[in-house]
Amino acid sequence: MSLSAAGVSVLAIALAVVLIVATLAILYFCSRQRARVADDVDVDDDLIVSFVGGLRWALPKGLGTTTMPGVLVGLALYPWGLRLGARWRVLAPFVPSWCVRYEEITAAEHARRGLRIAKRGSHGVRFRTGVGDDPVIFWTSNWSRLLDDLEGYGVPVVRQATSTAVWSNK
């Protein structure tokens, strides 16, 4: 039995659909696992400033990290702390919602990715907390202002750029 050209095309399309659905399912379950909610906070409190960018977070042990591209993620600063999450409701199942109080952030570091010889790389802020979570990186062109704002709330800031590893946010 031989496959015709039409049969191969149908098989290829079916395989592509299965791969897309599997990828979306993995992103959904991993983002739900990575979500972090700060107790007793109201995200409807007075918004101070918001930033637009991308997000890099750790997948379950051994699977590395994943990144949501720029402009899909928002970071909002409130009087109590910050919230990272999807900018649009349709993306919410695939982007972890991450809330943290300023006093829980042990360091906000200038992170950089890309080749050192490249003129342009991606810049962002790596957030470390003292609760054993893997760091989260928010990619934004406004990283310097974000670090200034966080420093104003007493968050320890590291302005020296550190490179990111391929499979880890540490």
User: pLDDT tens digit string along 104-123?
Assistant: 899 999 988 765 555 556 88
Global pTM reads 0.71
Count the Cβ atoms, other than its own, within 10 Å of residue 67: 16
- Residue 144's domain is classified under what CATH number? 2.30.29.30
Closest CA to 122 of 93, 104, 143, 108: 143
The helix or strand, by DSSP H or E, that contains position 169, with its residue range, turns out to be none
pLDDT digits (tens, 9 = 90+) for 3-20: 676 677 788 888 888 887
Q: Please give the backbone phi and psi of residue 34, each rounded to the nearest 5 degrees, phi first.
A: -85, -15
- Distances in Å between the Cα of 93 and the Cα atoms of 127, 151, 161, 165 are 22, 31, 31, 26
The domain containing residue 3 runs over which residues?
Answer: 1-170
- CA 137, CA 164: separation in Å to the nearest integer? 9
Number of domains in the chain: 1
pLDDT tens profile 70-84: 778 889 999 988 988
